Amino acid sequence: MGKGGHANGKQVDTTPGDKEVYPAWAKDIVECEEKFDVNRGYGLTASEVEKRRLIYGSNELEKHEGPSILRLILDQFNDTLVRILLVAAIISFVLALFDGKRGDGKMDITAFVEPLVIFLILIVNAFVGVWQESNAEKALEALKEIQSQQATVIRDGRKIPTLPAKDLVPGDIVELRVGDKAPADMRVLQLISSTVRVEQASLTGESEAVNKTSKPVPEDSDISLKKCMIFAGTTVVNGSCICLVTQTGMSTEIGQVHSQIHEASQNEEDTPLKKKLNEFGEALTSIIGVICVLVWLINVKYFLTWDYVNGWPTNFKFSFEKCTYYFEIAVALAVAAIPEGLPAVITTCLALGTRKMAQKNALVRKLPSVETLGCTTVICSDKTGTLTTNQMAVTKLIAMGHSANSVRSFNIDGTTYNPFDGKIRDWPVGQMDANLQMIAKIAAVCNDAGVEEVTGNNFIVNGLPTEAALKVMAEKMGLPNGLDAGKNPISSDPLRCCQIWNKLAKRIATLEFDRDRKSMGVIVSSESGRKSLLVKGAVENLLERSSFIQLVDGSIEKLDQASKDTILRSLVDMSSSALRCLGFAYKDDLLDFATYNGDEDHPAHQLLLNPSNYSSIENNLIFVGLAGLRDPPRSEVRGAIEDCRVAGIRVMVITGDNKNTAEAICREIGVFETYEDISGRSLTGKEFMSLRDPKAHLRQGGGLLFSRAEPRHKQEIVRLLKEDGEVVAMTGDGVNDAPALKMADIGIAMGISGTEVAKEASDMVLADDNFSTIVAAVGEGRSIYNNMKAFIRYMISSNMGEVASIFLTAALGIPEGLIPVQLLWVNLVTDGPPATALGFNPPDKDVMKKPPRRSDDSLINAWILFRYLVIGLYVGIATVGVFIIWYTQKSFLGINLTGDGHSLVTYSELANWGQCPSWEGFSVSPFTAGSQTFHFEDNPCDYFQTGKVKAMTLSLSVLVAIEMFNSLNALSEDGSLLTMPPWVNPFLLLAMSVSFGLHFLILYVPFLARVFGIVPLSLNEWLLVLAVALPVILIDEVLKFVGRCMNRVASRKQSKKKTE
């Protein structure tokens, strides 16, 4: 074979455009070297590298260009409500230019308050939207952090130890050592050490490091079964090897994840709430259009007149001034109909919800996710690190008994690497017999792992998780009394007992683990200088090489077939519970090593240099016991899954781990019953993808399990569930979870064990990696949604009242009672605090005992709409009525209204005020408002324009007061204020006080009063306001009572149907 592909002139034909990826994992080493035209000892030549770089490009993940800032800004106006508001602002601005001149010819700045406020709202809304969306693709940037920065490469026959990883091309020969992060997808050519293990849980979801081999595997193998491949971004935790680069950049497995994340981000859908608000906006557009046309038709007689001659209209007269006036009314109508404060209040409520969730360790990254959580119907959970701790733990210890045919069993509590987490049940504390002492010594000394405490009770592992679990077991076993007293220095080290065992048995040589003998051994020297061999490994292999067993008292018995059968029965029992079992054995008579002390010149040292000698050294062993390990489920998960079942939420487990282990965990945590037949509920990812009707499988009630799942399987499951109308929450912590996290309605990442990629792709991060936190967050989401419904209905009903007020004003022909700037003030400022405070309504006690609401459930059903139409109509009648009362009545309900000296007119005069100039002898008296006096000697007809300031103030004050009292109605959808009094939500009472305070501010501060076109009110006038506003509570109480009766009747009918 030529060097670097030049000897035989072949070209590598696997171009990036090829649809078929070359299956290097299924080919032997010689075929792979021929395919990529390379010699492992020489590597590629510099010229060949350049040629391949032109074909394949750099070994980097693509950077997808996001939308431009201008595009993001324009996208913020792609919303019905925003567009209505924008049109209203432009028209309002134009009208202000025409009508804003004062008598002295200068512009009146107050005329521009309304359009400027609307523009300010739009600018702030656009800024927030652009800021949120510009951060949307951080997941792709975080993915690049996983990529290796450098690689050790062989080129032109020499080793380059620090080649930038981006310069790698397919065909490069790379050397990997312990701690290295794989820079590309590579085929293993040669193991330098006896074993190579790679941590690839973040990519495949496997709970343990995977042994790699150079032997080919079947072509249709799943990613987790490609034992001869090392994938980009995974880490070597043991051993070293020579590899051939087969895929780089976007062609790698991690590159495909990158593409899937980008694709998922392009297909993000609106949240259920946003969809409803968009529908509401579209309906609102139609309603506003219809009402505006009606207002113009009703008032067309005021600005367009004509005479009839011979039955045909002639002599058309058009008044531009009056046409503009009624156009302003139409604009006011639009301002009244749009709940301008709604986006701000929703954002505030969601932000408050995120703070509540943060207190429960659920960190929300995207505000709308809070609302979406409330209607979650399916939780698709990763197993490793989510339902389990992702920390190996010994859960069962089998020690030898008093006779050769008996064993003792000990159950061990604890699910983490914390040595103080749990204890060994029925353990003889301080009274460890010789057999247990030997097990503890082997677990502590024949071990290369370490455990460190980083923060609080959080412990991290150095080395293999399996070995760390054995050291934690040794700590829980403790020390025998005599040894504990004599050898126990004061130490804060979490592995204090292991330290002591290592002092008693000093390691002088290591027999590394290999795949053939499946064991690891260490030669130790005791304080007396006596040499021993301590071994741990696969139970069956150790039994084959063992000739004796050690009993409780330390005596040695011959290992016969009956004894073997007893031990193997325990092994089968533990394996059926998905435990990984390791056996322990030792040997005292080491003739070849009796005088060995680690010296390289000692004859015995030559035996250790050749791994093929290890099996002969590890023979005639004395078997002492075995331990069962697993990645244990979190203790709180079972209760959380039961809560999900009660709440009508299905749990589906999707994991890259093997089927047996996953099924055992699912039975233990309650996804499946202990003895349930799960043959139709537990499938591998490949089996699921081959189903003729996968949706039918997903529609099954109860829990489901998908094992050996790859990223594409997870995405497909999420996609099918969403197509079926489910609201999907997907949990995960690895790179392999990121595309599905992005695609799901709610992506939930683990905060402690999660990769940055998963966190950036998620909508929510669990600070404590606790599955039960999700359930608490769902409950909080439901509560928040209920409260949001309360304030959305409150704001919409208030806007209905404003629309009714303006429509009645136009229909009756009386002067305008509310101007747009006043309506803006009410919608944005006065209504804001009570609406926000409704977000603090206490949650229902049974919020997690109800099934999830459908994502297409209407915010406002027919009955609620009728209720608020009635309330809205009353608001309109009250605001217009108080305007008419001031002009036409001396008193109302015994309240004297003539104290300010204003003149009374008839209703007919008020309704036909436009004809005032033609009235003969019409005059009015001056009246006072606060410190101001209004005179009308020069133009009595101005009494209906400038003089309406007091009547407008009364209308505005009635509107504010009614909306404050109406917020009390919104405490509960159907509950009476007698059963849910105002003080259940003290924040609402505080908010009402703030809103009334703000209203007093604009009434009694002269500058603000001029801006809003209002004047101070007297005590009697305030009594009139309260008399007109308070009935709104009584009206809604009657409507709530009718609603409760209707619900009872509907419940009875439903119960009757079920009985039948």
Asked if 563 and 549 touch (Cβ cutoff 8 Å), the reply is yes
Cα gap 590→532, rounded to integer Å: 7
Q: Is 96 helix (H, G, I), strand (E, B) or coil?
A: helix
Asked if 988 and 968 touch (Cβ cutoff 8 Å), the reply is yes
Amino acid at 707: S
Amino acid at 13: D
CA-wise closest residue to 792 among 461, 417, 347: 347
Q: Is 147 helix (H, G, I), strand (E, B) or coil?
A: coil
Cα gap 241→163, rounded to integer Å: 17
Give the containing element (helix H, strand E) for 322.
helix 320-337
Q: Which residues contact 584 (CB under 8 A, 6 or more apart)?
A: 438, 439, 442, 443, 535, 536, 542, 623, 624, 625, 626, 627
267-284: string of b/e by CB count within 10 Å (b at 16+)? Answer: eeeebbbeebbeebbeeb
Whole-Å CA distances, 747 to 183, 382, 963: 28, 12, 38
User: Half-sphere exposure (CA, 13 Å, Cβ side) for 716?
Assistant: 17
Q: Which residues contact 263 (CB under 8 A, 6 or more apart)?
A: 739
Tokens of 925: 């008296």
Tokens of 640: 């959380």
Largest CA distance in the chain: 135
Catalytic residue status for 831: no
Cα gap 116→112, rounded to integer Å: 6
Cα gap 660→676, rounded to integer Å: 14
Q: Which residues contact 970 (CB under 8 A, 6 or more apart)?
A: 790, 791, 793, 794, 838
For residue 599, the tally of other CB atoms under 10 A from its CB is: 11
Q: Which residues pair with 65 in a beta bridge?
A: none
Asked if 872 and 801 touch (Cβ cutoff 8 Å), the reply is yes
List the catalytic residue out of 382, 514, 657, 1036. 382
What DSSP designation does 385 have? I
Tokens of 848: 């997690």
Q: What is the DSSP string of 586-597?
A: EE---GGGTT--
Pairing of the two strands 173-176 and 150-155? antiparallel
Asked if 117 and 824 touch (Cβ cutoff 8 Å), the reply is yes
CB-based burial label for 998 (10 Å; 0-12, 13-18, 19+) = middle
Asked if 910 and 814 touch (Cβ cutoff 8 Å), the reply is yes
Asked if 711 and 257 touch (Cβ cutoff 8 Å), the reply is yes
Whole-Å CA distances, 883 to 142, 186, 346, 907: 62, 82, 33, 11
Pairing of the two strands 650-654 and 621-630? unpaired
Residue 157, phi-psi category: left (phi > 0), alpha (psi -120 to 50), beta (remainder)? left
CA-wise closest residue to 965 among 1034, 876, 879: 1034
For residue 499, the tally of other CB atoms under 10 A from its CB is: 15
Angle at the Cα of 254 from the Cα atoms of 252 and 259, rounded to 5 degrees: 95
Cα gap 278→531, rounded to integer Å: 79
Q: Is 121 helix (H, G, I), strand (E, B) or coil?
A: helix
Kindly report the three-state secondary structure assignment for every residue of 154-172.
EECCEEEEEEEHHHCCCCC
Positions marked active-site? 382
